[in-house]
Amino acid sequence: MNLSQEDWVAQLAADENAVVLDVRTEDEFNDGYIENAINIDIHKGQGFIYELEQLDKSKNYYVYCRSGARSAKACQIMNELEFANAYNLLGGILDWEGDVVEP
């Protein structure tokens, strides 16, 4: 499901079962990420699927990338793998107005 930044942030803040998932490359992630995000690079192909399969599918995943395209694809994959909920951040980190953690 696609959410505006406002809805994504509000829903995330109220969700005690939330996980933030960054699907960018490790290099992109190391340039700065949304607080508490875990990083699994969607470009890993089958490796991405394998790492997703290790996650708790009952949690709610708030997924983002640079612009929203890769994260939309990641949410689609997660739905196919029967994750409970995967929410895509429209506009990605490019449009992000919140804090970014600089590693």
Q: Backbone phi, then psi, for 70, in 5-degree steps?
A: -65, -40
2 pairs with which residues across the strands? Answer: 88
Say whether 65 is catalytic: yes
Q: Could you say which of 65, 75, 78, 86 is catalytic?
A: 65
- In 3-state terms, the chain is what percent helix, strand and coil (to 5)? 40, 20, 40
* Cβ 52 vs Cβ 35: under 8 Å: no
Q: Which residues make Cβ contacts (< 8 Å) with residue 82, sequence separation at least 6?
A: 57
Residues involved in catalysis: 65
